[in-house]
Amino acid sequence: MKDIIIIANPSSGKKQAEEYAAKAQSLFEDNQRQADVRITESEEDIVKYVKEASSNKYDTMILLGGDGTVSKAGESLKDEEYRPKIGIIPTGTINNIARGLGIATNIDQAVEDLVNCKEQITDVGMINDKLFLSSISAGSIPETVWEVSKDQKEKFGSLAYFIEGFKSLREEENYSIEMTIDGKEMKVDLTLLVIGLSNSVAGIPNFFNEATYDDGYLYLFGLKKSTLGEKISVMTSLLNDSEALSDEQNKGFVIPFKQGSFKNDHNLNVALDGEKGPCFPFDIKILPAFLTFLVPEN
Ligand SMILES: Nc1ncnc2c1ncn2[C@@H]1O[C@H](COP(=O)(O)OP(=O)(O)OP(=O)(O)O)[C@@H](O)[C@H]1O
């Protein structure tokens, strides 16, 4: 068994991954651990190095990148028998997966925390045959997610999503969705559908305030066509008291579930961990205790 492989996506966020990969390597060496570094040149390299980590049975795989990198790495482990423990140094823009795991968004802190960490076994989601580690979303706001260009992201960071999302609110559309959730059938018109694994969604902490990565549940948030006032009221309940949204007759509602199927007349795409994902119809389920992440001790 080998010790540590560090996989860095140099294009993520503010392009600091390579620099921090070297810092992490020397910190591990100071702590009598041996780390090999791989710098990716393309998305395919993420898959290649994750497969290397798995086939050479590295104990630990440290990922430097944002949600796209971490999500791709998780997906690459889907069919592997051996899955290394995963540490994240969040050099991306939004870093929602790291946030949901309680990893520091300050990069220096995240590096330091890796020498004093604990293991957290986490659930992942499966949509058709793909894994997701954070969320699935559909509707006019999520569509703006993949319309944000790399340039905009580099210039404005997470503000780029806010600007695009705000523009899309004016062009809000309704989607008729037929869903079966843990055996219960429902038909609803939604303007936004979000399915998440942890409390953090799209960089918003406490989006699903009760959700944790190891509770065995997916959480669905549905928002119906609503006035701005109704939206504010729904979002306030969502962030403070999601129990108040347990009835699907509300303008906004939250349902914890384990598996479901979703249909829609249009071939609407979903966003998967913030990148363009599969289209409707889809089946979705929780895979409990699938990955092990390294998270700060405290
Ligand atoms: N050299 C490269 N190695 C790996 N991926 C690359 C490379 N150049 C561009 N990419 C693209 O980077 C994407 C992943 O970037 P990532 O999501 O990790 O960073 P980010 O967008 O800054 O962060 P976040 O998703 O947290 O907002 C991949 O989907 C891939 O298409």
- Asked if the structure places residue 121 within a domain, the reply is no
Q: What is the pLDDT of residue 153?
A: 63
243/36: higher pLDDT: 36
Is the minimum distance from the CB of 18 to ligand 1 under 6 angstroms?
no
Cα(293) to centroid of ligand 1, in Å?
A: 20
CATH of the domain at 59: 3.40.50.10330
288/223: higher pLDDT: 288
- Asked if the structure places residue 181 within a domain, the reply is yes
| Residues 12 and 93 grouped into a single domain | yes
- Closest residue by Cα to atom 2, ligand 1, is 42
CATH of the domain at 197: 2.60.200.40
| Residues 159 and 16 grouped into a single domain | no
Cα(91) to centroid of ligand 1, in Å?
A: 10
- Asked if the structure places residue 124 within a domain, the reply is no
**Separation in Å, CA 293 to CA 103, 106, 131, 270:** 10, 18, 16, 26
Pocket test for ligand 1, best of 6, 15, 39, 43 (most atoms within 8 A of CB): 43
- Closest residue by Cα to atom 5, ligand 1, is 43
| Residues 36 and 172 grouped into a single domain | no
Prediction pTM value: 0.89
Is the minimum distance from the CB of 240 to ligand 1 under 6 angstroms?
no
Mean pLDDT on 246-260 = 90
- Asked if residue 213 lies in contact with residue 230, where contact means CB atoms within 8 angstroms, the answer is no
Picking from 48, 83, 115, the residue at the C-terminal end of a domain is 115
Q: Mean pLDDT, the chain, as a whole number? A: 89
- Asked if residue 34 lies in contact with residue 59, where contact means CB atoms within 8 angstroms, the answer is no
Interval 157-200: pLDDT, tens:
656 665 566 555 556 778 899 999 999 999 999 988 999 999 98
Residue span of the structural domain in which 53 resides? 2-115
Is the minimum distance from the CB of 94 to ligand 1 under 6 angstroms?
yes
Rg (CA), the chain: 19
Interval 95-132: pLDDT, tens:
999 999 999 999 999 999 999 899 999 999 999 999 99
- Asked if the structure places residue 126 within a domain, the reply is no
- Closest residue by Cα to atom 1, ligand 1, is 41
* Residue 12 C-alpha from the chain's centroid: 15
- Asked if residue 96 lies in contact with residue 134, where contact means CB atoms within 8 angstroms, the answer is yes
Mean pLDDT on 140-149 = 61
Helix axes 43-55, 67-76, angle to 10 degrees: 50
Is the minimum distance from the CB of 9 to ligand 1 under 6 angstroms?
yes
| Residues 212 and 86 grouped into a single domain | no
Is the minimum distance from the CB of 69 to ligand 1 under 6 angstroms?
yes
The interface predicted TM-score (ipTM) is: 0.96
**Separation in Å, CA 291 to CA 82, 113, 120:** 10, 19, 8
Is the minimum distance from the CB of 91 to ligand 1 under 6 angstroms?
no
Pocket test for ligand 1, best of 11, 40, 96, 162 (most atoms within 8 A of CB): 11
